[in-house]
Amino acid sequence: MNAADLIKQGRTALGMEFGSTRIKGVLIDYDGNVPASGAHEWENRFIDGVWTYDLADAVEGMRSCYASLKKEVRDKYGVTVRTLGAAGVSAMMHGYIALDENDTQLARFQTWRNTNTTEAADELTELFDFNIPLRWSVAHMYQRMLDGEEHVEKIASVFTLAAYMHYLLTGRKVIGVGDAAGMFPIDSDRIDYDEGMVRQFDELIRSKGSSLNLRDVFPAVLAAGDDAGHLTEAGAALLDRDGDLEAGIPMCPPEGDAGTGMTATNSVAPRTGNLSAGTSTFAMVVLERRLSKLHREIDMVTTPSGFPCAMSHANNGTTDLNAWVRIFAEFCELMGIEADMGELFGKLYTNSLNGDPDCGGLMAYGYYSGENITFINEGRPLFVRTPDSVFNLANFFRVNLYTSLGAVKLGMDILLKDEGVKLDRIMGHGGLFKTPLVMQRYLAASVNTPVTVMETASEGGAWGIALLAAYLADGKRDGKLEEYLDNRVFCSLAGDAVEPDPAEVEGFETFISRYSEALEVEKAAIEAVNW
């Protein structure tokens, strides 16, 4: 059946992901093929010391994204999208959206990027004997209590961004288990919040005078393939401003970008892993066993099916790298050279392969915000070199690409070297892998493991949530999520593995040693540079 007929009959799945800089929509058939996509650009803002987005912008961005996808369908196939087999939304994990009983927003939306929860995260980590990262929703809520913010006792709901958008579309207060694992610790055997820790938390806040109960305000947890509700009449009108989309479309559980990244790279079974490279950069490894001890640098989360998964999550990824590329675009404009941005990225990245394996002694930190893995609560983007460093264009971009993996590498070393976690393969995805081979080689060097990048790598999380919607609509007949992905989606997709080069492995180890030593420079910059 051709794409137009599939779209007419509603045998398609829609995935929409709210990324850090772009809201992307992908329409797929049940085998994962992509007949159409859409996008909308947006940016976070730093207001009163808080990294945030206006939720009205999220709604308008979703509508704009869907409109562009719908237009592409009409232009390519002469068809108007009226129904779907299923749909789903995903977004940046973690964060804090608090609503009262009338669904009125009570406080500014705090994104994953905020690191203003140290006191709460430390106290909860000690209470649970389980790492509670600074960006987790429970840390944000408890910090608001510790800070005495008046809105806390009015809370009726706390959401991540994905769960909030799903609530607007369906009226259901639910969340996928992978995204829920960025709110509160998960019991993988029960696919639910850890009941013992829930009781500990409720007792803790009761001692602080709060009458809230965590289960009353946090969304209910669901696994991949579970019924997460249907698109309501109000939800359909919210999504499609033309009114063509019908209500009643099944919705899969809303997921975070970690869960959609695992799905988009077929990294949902033990001993598999993936690295998502974008505004933030994080690596996921699905575990065969629990870690031997608590590590503050490592998040314990889950796959969309509930398997335990260790995450090395860096708040900072490509933001500073992109800024440097824009500087070179300005130079081209100054010289009267027309430079396509995609070509410019490609040439600068590819040329970095001519650099030294250790970046010639250059060092960079793309810290736009605090970095939890290195325990730094603010950011100052830095570039540093010594007088005898080999300062050339190839090494300059090589070090900026390396440093986008720097903090993640420190976390992965804890897993692979200290904990002895087994990893058979790691998949790369996200826009940073668009340029062939470059980041694939550098990632292979950083983890000393073969790295595969699929042709679909740049589709990222929007494709991942679309696959989870397709699994709900049609994939469950193939069995478990990993069986659906293996047998129907990834069986025919092309992707070559790159083996780690010993010289580059050694070079990256030299780089990461210098990276760790020079963190004192980053700390000094935070103290000294405050204008």
Encode pLDDT of 46-105 as tens digits.
999 899 999 999 999 999 999 999 999 999 999 999 999 999 999 998 899 999 999 999
Encode pLDDT of 171-206 as tens digits.
999 999 999 999 999 999 999 999 999 999 999 999
From CA 368, how far away is CA 251, in angstroms rounded? 35
Confidence of residue 457 (pLDDT cuts 50, 70, 90): low
pLDDT at 280 over 70: yes
Encode pLDDT of 468-507 as tens digits.
999 999 999 999 999 999 999 988 776 778 999 999 999 9
pLDDT at 458 over 60: no
Tell me the pTM: 0.82
Q: Report the pLDDT averaged over residues 367-372.
A: 90
The confidence score (pLDDT) of residue 130 equals: 94
Q: Which two tokens stand for residue 276?
A: 């998502």
Least confident interval from 48-62, 240-254, 277-291, 475-489: 277-291
Is the alpha carbon torsion for 320, 326, 328, 334 positive or negative? negative
From CA 8, how far away is CA 475, in angstroms rounded? 20
pLDDT at 10 over 60: yes
pLDDT at 261 over 90: no
> Residues of 51-81 as b/e, b for ≥16 C-beta within 10 angstroms?
bbbbbebbeebbbbbbbbbbebbeeebebeb
Are 255 and 465 in contact by the 8 Å Cβ rule? The answer is yes
From CA 418, how far away is CA 413, in angstroms rounded? 7
Encode pLDDT of 102-133 as tens digits.
999 999 999 988 889 999 999 999 999 999 98
Nearest to 84 by CA among 236, 226, 237, 234: 236
The confidence score (pLDDT) of residue 246 equals: 97
The confidence score (pLDDT) of residue 341 equals: 94
Q: Report the pLDDT averaged over residues 371-378.
A: 90
Compute the mean pLDDT over every residue in the chain, rounded to the nearest whole number. Answer: 94
H/E stretch holding 478: none
From CA 276, how far away is CA 297, in angstroms rounded? 17
